[in-house]
């Protein structure tokens, strides 16, 4: 059983969106800890 092009595109877009949100979450977590632990000086 093979995947249609539509299914492949939907999954591809969903994975890209997941990666985008995961990266944003990692940045937010870093900024939280960096600010609270004074690792990096944020203005």
The residues near 19 (Cβ < 8 Å, ≥ 6 apart) are none
Backbone angles phi, psi at 40, to 5 degrees: -140, 140
pLDDT attached to residue 5: 96
Backbone angles phi, psi at 27, to 5 degrees: -65, -45
pTM for the structure as a whole: 0.68
Q: What is the per-residue pLDDT across 1-43, written as a single tens digit (0 to 9) for each?
A: 799 999 999 999 999 999 999 999 999 999 888 888 877 665 5
pLDDT attached to residue 37: 85
């Amino acid at each position: 059983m093979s995947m249609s092009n539509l299914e492949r595109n939907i999954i591809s877009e969903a994975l890209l969106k997941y990666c985008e949100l995961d990266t944003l979450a990692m940045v937010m977590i870093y900024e939280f800890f960096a600010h609270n632990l004074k690792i990096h000086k944020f203005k």
